[in-house]
């Protein structure tokens, strides 16, 4: 169900060689190529071009994929959703938010 996601050593719930704890089940669509990757390191390894972040005006774009059920979330839903899937209730890794500036035009925290 996740064939549309690219990633290095990816499992069936979009965990990759870089991020593979129980909760690392989301994939992120990159603005530059419109393709889902398991993480930014996977994009770096496989895409062959620099990553571009989503600007705020496009935060209503569906760009997060729940690796558990395949549901797509908008960036706003993801950033405000308490790190769980609104469709299946699977928990996402809150630490992913530390990397949000790599994907989205948001303030860096700390
Ligand atoms: Zn790209
Ligand atoms: Zn990765
Ligand atoms: Zn889900």
Digit-coded pLDDT (tens) for 42-81: 999 999 999 999 999 999 999 999 999 999 999 999 999 9
Q: Which residue has the higher pLDDT, 79 or 97?
A: 79
Check if the beta carbon of residue 36 is closer than 8 Å to that of residue 4: yes
Helix or strand or coil: residue 14? coil
Alpha carbon of 16 to ligand 2 centroid (Å): 5
HSE, side-chain direction, 13 A CA sphere, residue 81 = 21
* Residue 90 backbone dihedrals phi, psi, to 5 degrees: -60, 145
Q: Residue 49 CA: which ligand is closest? A: 1
Alpha carbon of 2 to ligand 1 centroid (Å): 18
Distance of CA 110 to the CA centre of its chain: 21
Alpha carbon of 52 to ligand 2 centroid (Å): 16
The sheet with strand 5-6 has its strands ordered as: 5-6, 36-37, 26-29, 62-66, 72-74
Give me the pLDDT at residue 2, please.
47
Structure tokens at 10: 């990816």
- Total residues belonging to the chain: 110
Alpha carbon of 44 to ligand 2 centroid (Å): 9
Q: Which residue has the higher pLDDT, 54 or 96?
A: 54
Check if the beta carbon of residue 16 is closer than 8 Å to that of residue 42: yes
Q: Residue 37 CA: which ligand is closest? A: 2
Structure tokens at 84: 């769980």
């Amino acid at each position: 169900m996740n064939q549309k996601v690219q990633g290095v050593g990816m499992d069936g719930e979009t965990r990759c060689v870089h991020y593979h704890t129980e909760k690392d089940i989301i994939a992120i669509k990159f603005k530059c190529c419109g393709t889902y990757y398991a993480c930014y390191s996977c994009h770096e390894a496989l895409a062959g071009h620099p990553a571009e972040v989503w600007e705020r005006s496009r935060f209503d774009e569906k760009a997060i994929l729940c690796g558990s059920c395949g549901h797509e979330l908008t960036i706003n839903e993801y950033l405000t959703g308490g790190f769980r899937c609104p469709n299946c209730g699977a928990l996402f890794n809150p630490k992913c938010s530390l990397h949000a500036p790599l994907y989205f035009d948001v303030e860096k925290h700390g």
